[in-house]
């Protein structure tokens, strides 16, 4: 494969000059030379070697996308449709802006360190929910990163958040408006801060407005995954003291419906359900899922855009975006008389 020196030799200039042309360096090269060099590059099918570039310039044009390891039994990262949509948005934007993407699930801290120093990653997109001390570990590395999912209470940190509290509120309120008074909350375990905390806060607020208590027995924690939620659905089918469920992810809602159905309880006739995310599967379940809509693909793409803008020193770029949500009514909620 041709190197920059080959080009230089053929054209009869120094490697630096070729390098300047490649990187579009300002004004150092005459217009006709630019044309000749570009022509030769094309003729010889020259493509710069980014490993070499990375080595000297310390910028790799690789963005790492990491997620906390989700054991395959629990569904796995790539198999989760939410993350699939996120990745789709991220990849499209990175491609368009000339960056490469290295996806990796991270289990232990050394793995993160290896990833970073192995490849001089330019930046990191952090998806999924990491243990709470992870954020400070990450800050200790001097790599720009943007958080999706694992919120942090700081205006300065790069984040693409969602109006999660509002989402939790709207979902719950919708059920209350339809006459439901005992509403279960099902989602991954609630941490001190982050997505789930906020959705839970919204749930509590809605209940409070109707003067209803939040009851421990109504809060269920489970891993994201169809198996887990189907199992929970089977379990819940035995309880007779509630009429509705707010599930913090569509995939959970889908599993719940499936489990409830299997146990002979019908949705929405006996039990109403509201989901969260509005993924494709929300239209696949039967009944179709009433859920909180967010544009996940766009969220990934906004995250990538924000990160790259910061990397490219665009100081006017936003650091903290909150994306909108809305309630989408389909058929999984029944109005009680």
Distance from C-alpha of 18 to C-alpha of 29, rounded to nearest angstrom = 9
**Binding segment toward DNA, per CB under 7 A, in 20-28, 177-185, 261-269, 318-326:** 20-28
Contact between 217 and its own copies (CB under 8 A)?
no
Binding test (CB under 7 A) with DNA, winner from 10, 19, 102, 205: 19
DSSP-assigned letters across all residues of 162-194? E-HHHHHHHHHHHHHHTT---EEEEESPP-SSS
Nearest distance from C-beta of residue 61 to DNA, angstroms: 10
User: Which tokens in the block code for residue 301?
Assistant: 């793409």
Q: How many angstroms from the chain centroid is the CA of residue 194?
A: 13
Q: Which residues pair with 247 in a beta bridge?
A: 186
Nearest distance from C-beta of residue 112 to DNA, angstroms: 17
18 or 183: whose CB is closer to DNA? 18
Which DSSP helix (H) or strand (E) runs through 292? strand 290-293
Binding test (CB under 8 A) with its own copies, winner from 35, 208, 263, 284: 284
Nearest to 117 by CA among 137, 136, 143: 143
Residues in Cβ contact with 179 at an 8 Å cutoff, skipping those fewer than 6 apart? 335, 336, 337
Binding test (CB under 8 A) with its own copies, winner from 158, 171, 254, 292: 254
Nearest distance from C-beta of residue 284 to its own copies, angstroms: 5
Distance from C-alpha of 135 to C-alpha of 228, rounded to nearest angstrom = 28
Contact between 40 and DNA (CB under 7 A)?
no
Nearest distance from C-beta of residue 7 to DNA, angstroms: 8
**Binding partner at 84 among DNA, its own copies, none, C-beta below 5 to 8 Å by kind:** its own copies
Nearest distance from C-beta of residue 322 to its own copies, angstroms: 23
**Binding segment toward DNA, per CB under 7 A, in 44-52, 62-70, 75-83, 270-278:** 44-52
Contact between 33 and DNA (CB under 7 A)?
yes
Residues in Cβ contact with 243 at an 8 Å cutoff, skipping those fewer than 6 apart? 180, 181, 182, 183, 270, 271, 272, 336
Contact between 139 and its own copies (CB under 8 A)?
no
Binding test (CB under 7 A) with DNA, winner from 4, 175, 253, 260: 4
Q: Tell which positions 77-136 bind its own copies, by CB under 8 A.
A: 77-81, 84-85, 87-88, 91-92, 95, 100-105, 113-115, 117-120
Residues in Cβ contact with 91 at an 8 Å cutoff, skipping those fewer than 6 apart? 101, 300
**Binding segment toward its own copies, per CB under 8 A, in 9-17, 175-183, 275-283, 328-336:** 275-283
Handedness of CA 287, 293, 298, 299 (dihedral sign): negative
User: Which tokens in the block code for residue 303?
Assistant: 């995250």
Q: Indicate the burial class of 27 (C-beta count within 10 angstroms; 0-12, 13-18, 19 or more).
A: exposed
* DSSP secondary structure code for residue 322 in this structure: E
Contact between 57 and DNA (CB under 7 A)?
yes
Nearest distance from C-beta of residue 301 to DNA, angstroms: 27
39 or 326: whose CB is closer to DNA? 39
End-to-end CA distance of the chain: 75
Q: Which residues pair with 161 in a beta bridge?
A: 322
| Interacting residues toward its own copies by CB under 8 A | 1, 45, 47-52, 54-55, 60, 62, 72, 76-81, 84-85, 87-88, 91-92, 95, 100-105, 113-115, 117-120, 226, 230, 254, 258, 261, 280-281, 283-286, 297
| Interacting residues toward DNA by CB under 7 A | 1, 3-5, 12-17, 19-20, 22-23, 27-30, 33, 46-49, 52-53, 55-57
């Amino acid at each position: 494969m041709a190197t920059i020196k080959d080009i230089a030799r053929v054209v009869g200039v120094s490697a630096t000059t070729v390098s300047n042309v490649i990187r579009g360096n300002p004004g150092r090269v005459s217009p006709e030379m630019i044309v000749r060099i570009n022509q030769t590059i094309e003729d010889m099918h020259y493509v710069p070697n980014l490993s070499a570039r990375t080595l000297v310039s310390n910028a790799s044009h690789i963005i790492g996308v990491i997620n906390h390891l989700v054991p395959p039994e629990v569904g796995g990262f790539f198999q989760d449709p939410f993350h699939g949509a996120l990745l789709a948005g991220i990849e499209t934007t990175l491609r368009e802006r000339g960056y490469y993407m290295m996806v990796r699930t991270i289990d232990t801290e050394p793995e993160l360190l290896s990833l970073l120093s192995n490849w001089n990653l330019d930046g990191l997109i952090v998806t999924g929910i990491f243990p709470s001390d992870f954020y400070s570990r990450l800050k200790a590395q001097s790599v720009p990163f943007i958080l999706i999912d694992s919120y942090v209470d700081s205006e300065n940190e790069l984040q693409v958040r969602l109006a999660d509290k509002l989402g939790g509120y709207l979902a719950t309120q919708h059920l209350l408006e339809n006459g439901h008074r005992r509403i279960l909350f099902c989602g991954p375990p609630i941490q001190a801060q982050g997505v789930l905390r906020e959705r839970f806060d919204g749930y509590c607020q809605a209940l409070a407005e109707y003067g209803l208590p939040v009851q421990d027995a109504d809060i269920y924690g489970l891993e994201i995954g169809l198996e887990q939620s189907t199992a929970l659905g089977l379990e819940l089918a035995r309880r007779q003291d509630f009429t509705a469920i707010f599930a913090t992810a569509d995939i959970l809602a889908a599993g719940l419906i499936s489990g409830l159905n299997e146990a002979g309880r019908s949705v929405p006739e006996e039990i109403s359900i509201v989901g969260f995310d509005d993924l494709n599967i929300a239209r696949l379940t039967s009944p179709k899922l009433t859920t909180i809509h967010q544009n996940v693909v766009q969220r990934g793409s906004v995250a990538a855009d924000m990160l790259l803008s910061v990397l490219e020193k665009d100081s006017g770029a936003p650091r903290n975006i909150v994306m909108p949500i809305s309630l989408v009514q389909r058929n999984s909620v029944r109005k009680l008389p």
